[in-house]
Amino acid sequence: MKKILCADDDPGLQDVFPLICGRAGYEVTMLSNGENLLENNFELPDLFLLDKQLSGVDGVEICRFLKSQDATKDIPVIIVSASPNLDDQAKQAGADDFLEKPFRMSFLLDLLKKYLPEKLNPST
Amino acid sequence: MAGSNSIAQHGQNPLSIAGVGALQTITDLVPDLLWNNDIQGKILWFNKRWIEYTGDNLNKERDQLAFKGWQTIIHPDDFVAINEKWALSLGNDRILETQLRLRRADGVYRWHIARSVPMMDTLGQIVCWFGSATDIDDLKTTEQALSRSEERLRIALQSAEMIAWDWNVLLDELSWSENSSSFIDKKGSEKTSALLNRYVVSEDRQTLADSLDKAIKEAGVFQAEFRAIAGEKSENRWYYVYGRTVSRQNGQASRMAGVLYNITNRKLLEHQKDDFFSIASHELKTPVTSIKAYTEVLSEMAVDSYPQGAVLIDKLNKQVDRLSDLINNLLDTTKIYEGLLNLNPEHFDINELIEERAEDLQLLTSKHTIVLQLEKGIPPVFADKERIRQVLTNLISNAIKYSPGGGDILIRSEREGNELKVSVEDSGIGIPDELKTKVFDRFFRVKNPRVHSFPGMGLGLYITAGIVQQHGGRILVGNKEDRGSLIYFTLPLEG
């Protein structure tokens, strides 16, 4: 099963990501802040899903950091944000893609399918 | 008078030829009041102008004329001061000069400069005085008006925290009005290049210098915003400068004048507003994201196990989408209003986008048929694709909304010279002539007697117009012969 590491500090969304991605057959680990990521304190996932506005740290900066580390530079990063104009910024930091809030569930799942090509069938 | 003898001694003097008669002619010619008085102040003689001005008795011979008395001629407010001055001057031979108001024959007082010169005998004693009075009333009134006007200007500048500047371009001398030290502290003249380098931040110097050069060459108007380090605490400030050409030489500006003011507060406010947008945007959208996610999951769950629930959840989902759109619209409107809309342009095919929108929106209506008449071979347009998509969605959904009876909706695209023109036409309720420009106003909503009200906040066309105009295009209501509306917009094409 593909593992997703998701960082979002909004309590309203902390259940949503595991719920949606879990239903689609992915294993999700939720982090509420980005510090662990900067301290290399996590199990390597198959994909990073980062909110841009994490308390205290900018998701784009975390992305830049992850892409600069040998261990994580090849792992796809998707940045999620409420601001629509972050496309360029995200791409410049090395993000593989960008998801604008509020998003359709299907958009997120399409992105996951794109960057995690082998997916197990969803459990219903 | 003993004058004529001494006059005769002057030789070539024309007076010596003509004599006393000439002297009288001259004194009557002079526009000033002239007189001669004894040491008691009694008038011994006055010129024609004196008679004309004061209106003293004209009937008698000049040397018999009755003098009304200084008090009737001099303005009461000035009389006391004059008397004092006069008393003081009796003891010496200096010229007495003063400004005072003299009463004209019609009763009007006018300002004059009065001068008195003493005549002395051979023993050095003052025998009499010769006096003249020159009318300076117009000058005085102008001076007072100017003084009041300058005072008003000073107050205006001070309250607006502006300074007025004056620049002699040819000599490169810059001077400015006095002001509080809230901005440029140095008073007086200083060379402009020195000033620029001293105050303006390095990044803004070139643009400022360039716009100034342009204005000089074209003898036109110039305005610019720039940052400078100024003030006692060397703070970062924003300034706005405006100037216009006052005089020209060889087609270029030789002198310019204008104003400069501190817009730091305004700029701070703009930044605050910008911050507010990103914060508000994030705050509002986040709960909506959660709601949407849960409704979508519920929808999936309910489809198989709880079909009645699925229908309700579907409606819920649509409302969430609508809420999301409304929030976006509101934030867009504020951005457009403040001029803060950011565009991410790219090259794309307009016809493809129109086809995509038409297909999607056709699904929303069975009463209407969307018909496309798209010109082939239009080059790719360089614009913000997402925003133009928004424009098309708005125009097409308006066409649907405002033709409740159904009918065709015609979308055309064509190239006209350097422009792309896209029009959306319906056969609905139409737009009355007097409202053709108003429909693009913020919050404008249609009041149609047949329908109570059309839903919406009246923001769609305002946003659409804002987007089109931000791209450098135009948007207009077109003329239609038959019923319905025609709205078209243009976008610039490259090359």
Domain boundary among B337, B359, B377: B337
Task: Find the range with the poorest average confidence among B60-64, B139-143, B407-411.
Answer: B60-64
For residue B147, being part of any structural domain is answered with no
**Neighbour tally for A78: CB within 10 Å:** 22
Tokens of B469: 């105009």
Number of Cβ atoms within 10 Å of the Cβ of B88: 11
Domain end point (choices B337, B358, B393): B337
pLDDT at B442 over 50: yes
| Domain CATH number, residue B30 | 3.30.450.20
Integer Cα distance of B351 and B159 in angstroms: 56
Q: Are residues B60 and B114 in the same domain?
A: yes
CATH number for the domain harbouring residue B314: 1.10.287.130
Which of A10-14, A84-88, B217-221, B378-382 has the largest mean confidence? B378-382
Residue B55 · residue B73 · CB < 8 Å: no
Does position B164 have pLDDT exceeding 60, yes or no? Answer: yes
Which helix (H) or strand (E) element contains residue B304? helix B264-305
How many helices (H) does chain A have, and how many strands (E)?
A: 6, 7
**How far does the CA of residue B285 sit from the closest CA of chain A (Å)?**
6
- Residue at B151 is within a domain: no
Q: Render pLDDT for B16-49 as a digit per residue (tens, 0 to 9).
A: 556 777 888 888 889 999 988 887 777 778 888 9
One-character DSSP codes across B151-216: HHHHHHHHHHTEEEEEEETTTTEEEE----TTS----S-B-HHHHHHHHB-HHHHHHHHHHHHHHH
- pLDDT at residue B9 is higher than 70: no
Do both B420 and B481 map to the same domain?
A: yes
Q: Identify whether B28 is part of a domain.
A: yes
Domain of B467 in residue numbering reads as 346-492
The C-alpha angle A89, A92, A95, rounded to 5 degrees, equals: 90
Q: Is B144 part of any domain?
A: no
> Min CA distance, A70 vs chain B (Å)?
32
In this structure, how many other beta carbons lie within 10 angstroms of the beta carbon of residue A107?
Answer: 12
| pLDDT attached to residue B456 | 67
Specify the pairing of strand B96-103 against strand A57-58.
unpaired
Query: Which residue would you say has higher pLDDT here, B232 or A26?
Result: A26
| Burial of B359 from C-beta contacts in 10 A (0-12 / 13-18 / 19+) | exposed
Q: For residues B47 and B29, what is the distance between their CA atoms, to the nearest angstrom?
A: 9
Tell me the per-residue pLDDT of B354-404, one tens digit each, with 9 for 90 and over.
999 999 999 989 999 999 999 999 999 999 998 999 999 999 999 998 888
Question: Given CB atoms, is A53 within the 8 Å cutoff of chain B?
Answer: yes
Q: Is residue B350 domain-shared with residue B488, that is, in the same domain?
A: yes
Chain B contacts of A122, Cβ < 8 Å?
A: none
Option in A23, A82, A84 nearest B297 (CB): A23
Percentage of residues in chain B with pLDDT exceeding 70?
86
Residue B229: its H or E element: strand B221-230
* Per-residue pLDDT, B299: 86
Contact between chains at B324 and A102 (C-beta distance less than 8 A): yes
Instruction: Look at A83 and B229; give whichever has higher pLDDT.
Output: B229
Same domain, B416 and B432: yes
| Domain co-membership, B377 together with B440 | yes
SS3 assignment, position B87: helix
- For residue B141, being part of any structural domain is answered with no
| pLDDT tens digits, one per residue of B213-222 | 888 888 889 8
Classify strands B407-416 and A47-51 as parallel, antiparallel or unpaired: unpaired
| pLDDT averaged over every residue in chain A | 82
Q: Is B311 helix (H, G, I), strand (E, B) or coil?
A: helix
Best CA proximity match to B313, nearest among B327, B304, B300:
B300
For residues B445-466, average pLDDT: 73
| Co-location of B392 and B482 in the same domain | yes
Q: In the structure, what pLDDT confidence band is assigned to residue B190 with cuts at 50, 70 and 90?
A: low
The three-class DSSP label of residue A71 is: coil
* A107 at interface of B, judged by CB pairs closer than 8 A: no
Q: How far is A71 from chain B (nearest CA, A)?
A: 32
Token pair belonging to A85: 């104009």
Q: What is the DSSP letter of B74?
A: B
Q: Can you tell me the mean pLDDT for B67-85?
A: 78
- CA-CA-CA-CA dihedral for B73, B79, B82, B83, to nearest 10: 100
- Asked if B290 and A10 come within 8 Å (Cβ–Cβ), the reply is yes
Same domain membership, residue B288 and residue B245: no
Of B225, B243, B262, the residue at which a domain comes to its end is: B262
**Same domain? B355 vs B488:** yes
Beta strands B368-374 and B407-416, pairing class: parallel
Cβ–Cβ below 8 Å for B289 and A88? no
Q: Tell me, yes or no, if B294 comes closer than 8 A to chain A by beta carbon.
A: yes
Q: Does pLDDT of A71 surpass 70?
A: yes
| Per-residue model confidence (pLDDT) at position B262 | 84
SS3 B280: helix
Question: In this predicted structure, what is the pLDDT of residue B64?
Answer: 47
Task: Please write the tens of the pLDDT for every residue from A43-52.
Answer: 889 999 988 8
Query: Across the interface, do B278 and A19 touch by the CB < 8 Å criterion?
Result: no
Q: What angle is formed at CA B419 by the lines to CA B483 and CA B488, rounded to 5 degrees?
A: 20
Determine the pLDDT at residue B471.
Answer: 92
B109 confidence band (pLDDT: 50, 70, 90): very high
Shortest CA gap B429–chain A (Å): 35
B325 touches chain A (CB under 8 A): no
Interatomic CA distance for residues B248 and B69, integer angstroms: 56
The per-residue pLDDT for B14 is 54
Q: Within an 8 Å CB–CB cutoff, is residue A85 touching chain B?
A: yes
Going B297 to B299 to B303 to B308, the CA torsion angle's sign is: positive
Q: What pLDDT is attached to residue B393?
A: 93
B278 CB within 8 Å of a chain A CB: yes
d(CA B65, CA A24): 123
Task: Give dist(CA A13, CA A54) in Å, integer.
Answer: 12
Question: Nearest residue of B to residue A10 by CA position?
Answer: B286
B317 and B296 Cβ atoms separated by less than 8 Å: yes
| Domain match, B487 and B379 both | yes
How far does CA B238 lie from the centroid of its chain? 18
Minimal Cα distance from A52: which residue of B? B282
Examine the pLDDT at B187 and tell me if it is beyond 70.
no
Tell me whether residues B290 and A12 touch, CB distance under 8 A: yes
State the burial class of residue B303 (Cβ atoms within 10 Å of its Cβ: 0-12, 13-18, 19+). middle
Asked if B326 and B354 sit in the same domain, the reply is: no
Contact B281 A53 (CB under 8 A): no
> Could you tell me if B373 and B415 lie in one domain?
yes
Residue B288 counted as domain residue: yes
Q: Coil, strand or helix: which one is B369?
A: strand
| Domains parsed from chain A with CATH numbers | 3-115 (3.40.50.2300)
Chain B residues touching A12 at Cβ < 8 A = 286-287, 289-290
- For residue B321, how many other CB atoms are within 10 A of its CB? 15
DSSP string, A41-64: -S---SEEEEESEETTEEHHHHHH
Choice among A66-70, B111-115, B247-251, B329-333 with the minimum mean pLDDT? B329-333
Is B148 a domain residue? no
Inter-CA distances, B270 with A52, A76, B44, B152, B267, Å: 23, 37, 78, 31, 5
Does position B231 have pLDDT exceeding 80, yes or no? Answer: no
Out of B281, B294, B300, the one facing A82 most closely (by C-beta) is B281
Residues B317 and B272 in one domain: yes
Count of domains for chain B: 4
Q: What is the ipTM of this complex?
A: 0.72
Among B468, B484, B350, which Cα is nearest to B412's?
B350
**Domain contains B100:** yes
**Selected residue of B276, B279, B283, B285 to mutate for chain A interface (largest A Cβ count, 10 A):** B285
pLDDT of residue B111 exceeding 90: yes
Tell me how far apart the alpha carbons of residues B94 and B276 are, in angstroms, rounded to a whole number.
Answer: 77
